[in-house]
């Protein structure tokens, strides 16, 4: 396959000769109306109906017992880890193949990551690699799971559903139960992705979603903590809103809280975007299927949803035959005004995480060398699935 063929294919798909970004948001529903309403009413900030409405819509959509809106996905992850009981000095096992926010959040809890490999099917944390790592390096004591050599506690496991492709959650959950560690899902990229019929982010005790401008829906900036337990969900809301005890005028806070509440003006945008989500998902699947057809028989392997999952196909990706071919493709497409991107540098290559413990990372390394992300915007103008 020539790069020029891919450029032509993507230009046909998006029907434009202009620059094609990797992922642009689509606002073709009630976005302007709801946001304008918050401005006209002056309720743009911490008071207003849209935050509650956005949270209830998310609970309905995902099936989570409780959803708590936050200022961004990193704040949602930070809160999720806090609620999972991660303490300074703990280890948290995650994948090296992730966006830096996963590790930043646990770093700011005073915890340290341990990197384990991803599955080549889902590009997300591999349950076998996790189990092997624990078998070799951990032991169970009365107070939990401990890393043998350092004597430090391993408190949580954080799989990240890469580009929306769900990790093997049943298997991961089973390992977590066996080893007495808490499963926290980084579901920032996987709103609308299902694992065996269950929405991602509802299998772990807590999960984080992101509504950054490049995600499947956006609130400008925003995030959400999904909670499996309603009671812990109520406490999650409490700690993200300065832990203020409700009172008409008095200030009383009963624990150290975060100011992570999502402003009403952003939640208004979120409510409008939620109305579009089904249409976005249909379009995403159509774009993915066109890419799949395009790459068939080329030696480039289009990244498909695992057979146990229904993915949101948030960001499409292809595995190139080798690193050189991938680098040439990146160069040619970007020079032609079609944005493509390599996957993130592995976390263990970043200066602040280079000394962290890790298992074998063979799949992560191969994917890091060969993966290329492709334009994936869900523009409703060129596809059939419009929101009615
Ligand atoms: C987007 C993203 C986040 C959170 O991002 P924010 O910009 O803080 O909303 C976290 N983890 C992953 C894997 C992401 O892709």
Residue 226: φ, ψ to 5°: -100, 135
Q: What pLDDT was estimated at residue 44?
A: 94
Q: Please, which pLDDT band fits residue 379 given cuts at 50, 70 and 90?
A: confident
Q: What pLDDT was estimated at residue 371?
A: 98
CA 4 / ligand 1 centre spacing (Å)? 32
Q: What is the pTM of this model?
A: 0.97
* Ligand 1 atom index nearest CA of 105: 10
Alpha carbon distance 75, 108 (integer Å): 10
Q: Is the CB of 79 under 6 A from ligand 1?
A: no
Q: What pLDDT was estimated at residue 291?
A: 98
- Average pLDDT (245-271) is 96
Q: Is the CB of 330 under 6 A from ligand 1?
A: no
End-to-end CA distance of the chain: 38
Q: Is the CB of 74 under 6 A from ligand 1?
A: yes
Spatial neighbors of 160 by CB under 8 A, at least 6 apart, are 94, 95, 98, 99, 102, 124, 125, 167, 185, 186, 188, 189
- Average pLDDT (132-140) is 98
Q: Please, which pLDDT band fits residue 321 given cuts at 50, 70 and 90?
A: very high
- Average pLDDT (192-212) is 98
Q: How long, in residues, is the chain? A: 388
Query: Is residue 47 scored above 90 in pLDDT?
Result: no
The mean pLDDT of the chain is: 96
Q: What pLDDT was estimated at residue 130?
A: 98
Q: Is the CB of 99 under 6 A from ligand 1?
A: yes
Q: What pLDDT was estimated at residue 387?
A: 40
Query: Is residue 332 scored above 80 in pLDDT?
Result: yes
Q: Is the CB of 202 under 6 A from ligand 1?
A: no
Where do the domains of the chain lie, and which CATH numbers do they carry? Answer: 3-26+277-387 (3.90.1150.10), 31-273 (3.40.640.10)
Q: Is the CB of 127 under 6 A from ligand 1?
A: no
3-state class (DSSP) for residue 354: coil
Q: Please, which pLDDT band fits residue 187 given cuts at 50, 70 and 90?
A: very high
CA 52 / ligand 1 centre spacing (Å)? 22
- Average pLDDT (266-284) is 97
Q: Please, which pLDDT band fits residue 386 given cuts at 50, 70 and 90?
A: very low
Q: What pLDDT was estimated at residue 382?
A: 59
């Amino acid at each position: 396959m020539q790069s020029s063929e891919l450029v032509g294919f993507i230009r046909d798909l998006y029907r434009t000769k202009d620059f094609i970004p990797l992922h642009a948001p689509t606002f073709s529903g009630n976005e302007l109306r709801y946001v304008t309403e918050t401005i006209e009413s002056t309720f743009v900030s911490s008071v207003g109906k849209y935050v509650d409405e956005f949270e209830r819509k998310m609970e309905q959509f995902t099936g989570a017992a409780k959803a708590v809106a936050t200022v961004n996905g990193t704040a949602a992850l930070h809160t999720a880890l806090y609620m999972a009981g991660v303490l300074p000095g703990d280890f948290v096992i995650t994948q090296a193949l992730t966006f830096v926010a996963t590790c930043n959040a646990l770093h700011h809890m005073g915890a340290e990551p341990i990197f384990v490999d991803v599955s080549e099917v889902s590009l997300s944390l591999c349950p076998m690699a996790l189990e092997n790592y624990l078998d070799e390096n951990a032991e169970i004591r009365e107070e939990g799971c401990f890393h043998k050599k350092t004597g430090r506690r391993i408190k949580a496991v954080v799989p990240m559903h890469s580009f929306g492709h769900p990790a093997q959650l049943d298997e991961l959950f089973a390992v977590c139960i066996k080893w007495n560690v808490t499963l926290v899902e980084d579901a920032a990229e996987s709103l609308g992705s299902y694992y065996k019929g269950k929405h991602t982010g509802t299998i772990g005790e807590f999960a984080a979603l992101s509504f950054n401008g490049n995600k499947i829906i956006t609130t400008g900036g925003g995030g959400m903590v999904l909670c499996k337990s309603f009671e812990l969900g109520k406490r999650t809301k409490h700690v993200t809103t300065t832990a203020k005890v409700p009172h008409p005028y008095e200030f009383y806070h009963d624990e150290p809280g975060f100011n992570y509440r999502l402003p009403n003006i952003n939640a208004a945008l979120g409510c409008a975007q939620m109305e579009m989500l089904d249409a976005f998902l249909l379009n995403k699947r159509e774009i993915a299927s066109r890419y799949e057809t395009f790459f068939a028989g080329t030696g480039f392997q289009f990244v498909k949803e695992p057979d146990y999952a229904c993915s949101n196909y948030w960001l499409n990706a292809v595995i190139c035959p080798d690193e050189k071919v991938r680098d040439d493709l990146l160069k040619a497409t970007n020079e032609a005004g079609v944005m493509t991107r390599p996957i993130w540098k592995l976390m263990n290559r970043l200066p602040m995480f280079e000394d962290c413990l890790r298992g074998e990372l063979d799949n992560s390394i191969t994917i890091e060398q060969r993966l290329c992300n492709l334009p994936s915007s869900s523009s409703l103008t060129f596809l059939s699935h419009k929101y009615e």
